[in-house]
Structure 1
Amino acid sequence: MKIYSVEPEGNQMADLEPARYFNLAIQQIQEAEEWLRTSEEACQALLVHLDVFVYLSKKYPEMANRRVAKLNRSQIKGTFYDWFERCGKKIPAKFRDGIKESADALFYELEKI
């Protein structure tokens, strides 16, 4: 086994481990997006999975750049906003604008990857 840096992933055994987390985030994003297509509920898990993906992408930008191709970002964004349009009035008013702003920020960050 080869060690090539002091970083946590700086050895041959660990260098691809972050990809497992990206793969899990992608799977969760896809499942959450599929659920949102027909959901009539005011709750959703998509944004938290996007947040994790964006967070990981800041630590591992090259890997994120390779993995993001697995996500249809425009479809995911469209599905979220369709859901928001359909269910937004069910979200308490004091949180509604903040959730939309949070989504806007996450989709902006996701587009930059």
Structure 2
Amino acid sequence: MKVYSTAPDGNEAADLEPAHYFNLAEKRLQKSYEHIIQTDKPVQVLLVNLDILLHLSKKYPALANLTIQREEAAKWKQGFYDWYARCSAKIPAKFREGIKESADALFAELEQLGH
């Protein structure tokens, strides 16, 4: 086994481990997207899955650029805003605008990734 740095992922056995987490995050995003496009309920988990993916992207930007596809990101965004248009009236008023603002910020951050 080759060791090439002191970083947690600085050896051959560990250098691809972050890719597994990107794959898991993208699978969770896809699953939450599939749910959100079909539901009329005012609950969603897409934004928290996106937030997790973005945290991974900050730590491993090169992997983010390799794994996050622009088309998928656009699909997730459209799915969320379609859901929001259908369900926003069912979200308690005191949270409604904040949820949209949170989504706006997360999707803007996603779009800033260099994919």
TM-score normalised to structure 1 length: 0.97
The 5 A counterparts of 1:69-108 are: 69=69, 72-108=72-108
The 5 A counterparts of 1:1-113 are: 1-69=1-69, 72-113=72-113
CA RMSD of aligned residues (A): 1.1
Amino acid paired to 2:106: L
User: Size of the alignment, in residue pairs?
Assistant: 113
Please, which runs of 5 or more residues in structure 2 have no aligned partner?
none
CA–CA distance in structure 2, aligned partners of residues 53 and 96 of structure 1: 23
Identity of aligned residues (%): 54
- Runs of 4+ in structure 1 off by over 3 angstroms are none
Please, which runs of 5 or more residues in structure 1 have no aligned partner?
none
Deviates more, 1:69-78 or 1:85-94: 69-78
TM-score normalised to structure 2 length: 0.95
CA–CA distance in structure 1, aligned partners of residues 47 and 35 of structure 2: 13
